Structure 1
Amino acid sequence: MKKIAIFADVQNIYYTTRQAYQKQFNYRKVWQHIAAQGEIVCAYAYAIDRGDNQQKKFQEMLKHLGFEVKLKPFIQRSDGSAKGDWDVGITIDVMEVAEQVDTVILLTGDGDFAMLLNKVKERFNVTTEAYGVPKLTAKALIDSCTQFNAIDKDLLLP
């Protein structure tokens, strides 16, 4: 049975699905779709902790599905801008897990991960997949993965 690792860039998925469709991503449906392809040996969801109750309920739902939720505090800069991405953390986790699985799946449209997917394919001979909103996913990411899965109405909450 194929061993699968999932890495979900929660902020990216949230904002791109909201911008493109004004809806939320259906993590349960994508989990079921991926689980039908093999054994999910690990799944990480990377999010920013703002401490609100709605977010906590969402994080509990992710844990219930099988994700390990990793949180970083929300950082508001003095100029009003905000910081809070997980690019380095996701990269480290992918590199640590890739040699133990057959497939690495990223839920993101962030082109910064294109080099990562190319490297793990080359070094560990794994299949790489990405899930992203087509019009908001970097071409470099689409080109770097073995398979690109479009987030469309079928993967959104009603």
Structure 2
Amino acid sequence: MSGCRTSVGIYVDVANIAMNGGYGMQFDVLREFACHDNAEVVRLNAYVAYDTARAEADPNYAEGQRNFHSSLRDFGYKVIQKDVKRYTDAEGTAIAKANSDLDMAVDMLLQSEKLDRVLMLTGDGDFVQVVRALQNRGCRVELVAFENVSSELRREVDMFIPGWLIPNLLPIRGAPRGAPAWGEIGSRVRGVCYYHKDVEGYGFMRFLDRVDADLWISDTRRKDSPYKTAYFHDSYLLDHLEPGEIPNRDIIFEFDLHRSLRNDGLEARNIKVVARL
């Protein structure tokens, strides 16, 4: 490993992500994203829940889990399995739970000695103190998550990026085979509204066009920005929004990219709200 390259560790709470908007996430794309500044991934940990009782009763579940875990290993992830435990609470309600928080926290803290950056995938606010400990050890901490993300955790990390916005991390539902690649004319992408005029009825969407070292350069007027801008008219909005609700970086939109008829820029059409953070 080259001494001048940034070393990165990826830590994924698979169950948390899958239950909160990230089902179907592409783990190979996640690995590529982690290297956004020519970094080198040295740890890839995926914490999974496994229901032994269900596996014994349901061969399809067991086979599906084996295939999923094998795919993770093919992409270089170490699969840390946490068995589902069943118990009955004080009110007599049966509960099944597999909590990987402690395992993930301990691994991040111990392995951070060899890391420059930690990329976490979870929305759990219980990791706030872990983030502080990692930062105190000199690690930069980045967070990727989809829905139900702790606001305190978002504030504590060095960078938070909604997984919806990372190109191809979560496939576009219903996209036909052979559809244009993310960012091309005719493609469907996700972004946020950063400017809007209520009275005039128009605004601008910003979306991540490519992943590189300059993710902080959000001003699309700069040539080195990895982001692009698309104009839209309010008539292109498929969902009702209250006046003053946008611009809002916590509302994630999905839209089609078209060549603008007004200039050489882009237009966003068929705009749909896909998430509210």
Q: Which residue in 2 is equivalent to 1:56?
A: 66
Distance in 2, matches of 1:57 and 1:35, equals 26
* Runs of 5+ consecutive residues of structure 2 not aligned to the other structure: 56-61, 173-277
Q: Which residue in 1 is equivalent to 2:12?
A: 8
Are 2:115 and 1:115 aligned?
no
Are 2:103 and 1:89 aligned?
yes
Instruction: Provide the aligned C-alpha RMSD in A.
Output: 1.5
Q: Which residue in 2 is equivalent to 1:131?
A: 144
Displacement after TM superposition at 1:42 (Å): 0.7
* Runs of 5+ consecutive residues of structure 1 not aligned to the other structure: none
Displacement after TM superposition at 1:104 (Å): 0.8
Displacement after TM superposition at 1:56 (Å): 1.4
Contact 1:12/1:109, CA 8 A, preserved across alignment: yes
Are 2:190 and 1:142 aligned?
no
More helix by share: 1
* Counterpart secondary structure, 2:74: helix
Q: Which residue in 1 is equivalent to 2:42?
A: 41
Distance in 2, matches of 1:87 and 1:152, equals 23
Distance in 2, matches of 1:49 and 1:110, equals 20
* Counterpart secondary structure, 2:94: coil
Distance in 2, matches of 1:33 and 1:149, equals 11
Partner residue of 1:100 out of 114, 118, 124: 114
More strand by share: 2
Distance in 2, matches of 1:33 and 1:84, equals 28
The structure number with the bigger radius of gyration is 2
Displacement after TM superposition at 1:145 (Å): 0.5
Displacement after TM superposition at 1:73 (Å): 1.1
Distance in 1, matches of 2:26 and 2:124, equals 19
TM-score (norm 1): 0.90
Distance in 2, matches of 1:29 and 1:105, equals 13
| Identical-pair percentage | 22
Q: Which has the higher contact order (CA 8 A, sep 6+)?
A: 1
Displacement after TM superposition at 1:61 (Å): 0.8
Out of 36-45 and 6-15, give the one that drifted further: 36-45
Distance in 2, matches of 1:113 and 1:48, equals 18
Partner residue of 2:78 out of 68, 77, 90: 68
Distance in 1, matches of 2:32 and 2:71, equals 14
Displacement after TM superposition at 1:36 (Å): 4.0
Please tell me the residue identity of whatever aligns with 2:71. M
Distance in 2, matches of 1:146 and 1:36, equals 15
Distance in 1, matches of 2:20 and 2:27, equals 14
**Which portions of structure 1, spanning 4 or more consecutive aligned residues, are displaced by more than 4 angstroms?**
none
Displacement after TM superposition at 1:128 (Å): 0.2
The 5-angstrom pairing of residues 24-35 of structure 1 reads 24-35=24-35
Post-superposition CA distance 1:54-77 (Å, at most 9, x none): 111111111111110000111122
TM-score (norm 2): 0.52
Please tell me the residue identity of whatever aligns with 1:119. A
Displacement after TM superposition at 1:136 (Å): 1.3
